[in-house]
Amino acid sequence: MSKQNKPPTDNLYLQIWRNPIFNDHLLSHITAEQWHTFTALAVFMNKKGECYPSQSKLKQLLGLDNVASVSRRISSLEKARFKGEPLIKVFRGKKTKIKGKLIFASNSYLLNQNIITIFSPHDTTVTRKQEQLEDLVQRKAKLANSLHIDATRNNDKLTRRKF
């Protein structure tokens, strides 16, 4: 698998903004097929909303039979609009002929980040969580030590009964 076909990180999370769907009824303005394709593209995007998947990889992710179906879906998605803005912008690579064979260059896509973005936990987030956990363990140990009660309690007249 080429580097471009992999998502940028293993810890990629999609953040779908609620307002475009809930308040602005985005899903009533686009087809299920367009949303399906849009979210498939989103798993490849970087922080700027750019992505570079091959049509072959998209075909595989979308469960389609051929690359022509991917092209048709991309074209449909490119025409879709949200608040006057396209859901995606497509930057088509130039086709070239080498030794009589037509070679297709890769396309790149820019997704509308008013609808979907990515976020990924960075090392600082993970480190901070580890620090918080260590702090909690230390505070728990300190509290347990301060509440430690001597089992012998020889001089404690309040808790000992005389029979």
Q: What's the pLDDT tens digit per position in 121-139? A: 655 566 667 777 888 888 8
Give me the pLDDT at residue 108, please. 93
Domain of 94, CATH number, reads: 1.10.10
Look up the domain containing 99 and give its range. Answer: 3-119
Number of independent structural domains in the chain: 1
Q: What's the pLDDT tens digit per position in 6-30? A: 544 466 788 899 999 999 999 999 9
CB atoms within 10 A of CB 127: 10
To the question of pTM greater than 0.85 for the whole model, the response is no
